[in-house]
């Protein structure tokens, strides 16, 4: 029984890689089709210092969310916060289809746990190697962006600003009604899904498969609100002020200021702390050119 389960697991993993390879080749031949892989890199400590004492300090964490274009091998690295829940991803794709006239269909496929190597991993590996040889100091999140663009000429770093984060959770609450059973009455479980499809012609319908078999029929989860139809929903911004850090983290960051270029001292000294009144002169990443 265990050998059979192991074989099925490897068969599913092989099928997932073959599906990714097929989609990549398809996007290379047909410019109307785009194939992206995306993933979050391991958190990047900021500042990144070689001083031994910094090992015991609490750093800021810089997040690199990478999207890799399978046809061009170009990558966009978004310097941003962590991953979203799958339900928020659903809301995001639905909003994309509603707002963009040229996008008709989006397929979202998952690799098998334990067999998840993607092109993004190669990007992240090259960034890690570059970090070990990077001659410049990494004292500010902007420095990670500089490192990324010097790693490979096909890598682009996009430094996110607060206005670019949207609350897709509010879209779920106000426009859709989440259900735990599909249109056939079967239980819906995120962890079992291998393939999700979104179509402009089926707004509010999540089509999904439990495998990557091309000939398997899609199941459907209908989360449209039956009583009211909401169109052109205006997304809210996620944040109205800079996010605070913990009260224990700020003293640790201030203690390493002697090892950080003086031009960045204000950035660390003005970081907002949980429970502390917001300062009007917060020094944001936008101010660093």
pLDDT, one tens digit per residue, over 145-184 is 999 999 999 999 999 988 899 888 888 888 888 889 999 9
Instruction: Assess contact for 42 and 124: CB atoms under 8 A.
Output: yes
Determine what percent of the chain is predicted with pLDDT higher than 70. Answer: 91
On the question of pLDDT at 68 being above 50, the answer is yes
End-to-end CA gap in the chain: 60
- Helices first, then strands: H and E counts in the chain: 7, 11
Mean pLDDT of 201-214: 94
On the question of pLDDT at 29 being above 70, the answer is yes
pLDDT at 136: 85
In tens, the pLDDT along 244-264 reads 999 999 999 999 999 999 999
Instruction: Assess contact for 287 and 263: CB atoms under 8 A.
Output: no
Determine what percent of the chain is predicted with pLDDT higher than 90. Answer: 58
Q: Quickly state the pLDDT bin for 231 (edges 50, 70, 90).
A: low
CA angle, 212 as apex, 196 and 35 as ends, to 5°?
A: 65
Q: Is the previous residue joined to 9 through a cis bond, with omega within 30 degrees of 0?
A: no
In tens, the pLDDT along 214-225 reads 999 999 999 887
Handedness of CA 79, 80, 86, 88 (dihedral sign): negative
Residues in the chain: 289
Strand locations in the chain, DSSP E?
Answer: 36-40, 44-46, 60-69, 75-80, 105-109, 155-159, 166-167, 195-199, 205-209, 219-222, 236-237
Query: For the CA atoms of 147, 148, 151, 152, what is the dihedral angle to 10 degrees?
Result: -150
Residues whose CB falls within 8 Å of the CB of residue 32, separated by 6 or more in sequence, listed in order: none
Instruction: Give the whole-angstrom CA distance, residue 284 versus residue 288.
Output: 8
Instruction: Assess contact for 36 and 67: CB atoms under 8 A.
Output: yes
Query: For the CA atoms of 83, 65, 194, 184, what is the dihedral angle to 10 degrees?
Result: 50
Percent helix, strand, coil in the chain, to 5, is 40, 20, 40
Q: What is the pTM of this model?
A: 0.82
Mean pLDDT of 258-274: 93
DSSP symbol at 124: H
């Amino acid at each position: 029984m265990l050998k059979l389960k192991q074989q099925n697991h490897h068969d599913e993993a092989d099928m997932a890689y073959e599906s990714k390879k097929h989609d990549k080749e398809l996007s290379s031949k047909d410019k109307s089709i785009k194939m992206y892989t995306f993933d979050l890199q391991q958190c990047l400590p900021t500042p990144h210092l070689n001083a031994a004492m910094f090992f015991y300090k609490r750093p800021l964490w810089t997040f690199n969310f990478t999207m890799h274009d399978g046809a061009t091998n170009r990558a966009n690295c978004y310097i941003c916060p962590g991953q979203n829940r799958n339900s928020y991803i659903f809301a995001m794709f639905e909003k994309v289809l509603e707002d963009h006239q040229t996008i008709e269909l989006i397929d979202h496929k998952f690799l098998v746990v334990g067999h998840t190597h993607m092109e993004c991993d190669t990007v992240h590996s090259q960034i890690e190697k570059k970090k070990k040889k990077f001659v410049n100091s990494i004292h500010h999140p902007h420095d990670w962006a500089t490192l990324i663009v010097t790693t490979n000429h096909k890598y682009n770093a996009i430094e996110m600003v607060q206005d670019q984060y949207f609350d897709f959770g509010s879209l779920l609450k106000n426009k859709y009604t989440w259900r735990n059973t599909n249109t056939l009455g079967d239980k819906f479980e995120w962890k079992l899904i291998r393939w999700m499809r979104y179509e402009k012609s089926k707004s509010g319908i999540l089509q999904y498969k439990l495998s990557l078999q091309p000939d398997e029929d899609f199941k459907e989860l209908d989360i449209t609100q039956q009583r009211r139809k909401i169109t052109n929903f205006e997304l809210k911004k996620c944040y109205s002020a800079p996010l605070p850090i913990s009260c224990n983290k700020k003293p640790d960051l201030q203690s390493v200021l002697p090892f950080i270029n003086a031009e960045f001292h204000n950035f660390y000294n003005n970081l907002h702390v949980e429970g502390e009144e917001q300062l009007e002169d917060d020094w944001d990443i936008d101010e660093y050119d």
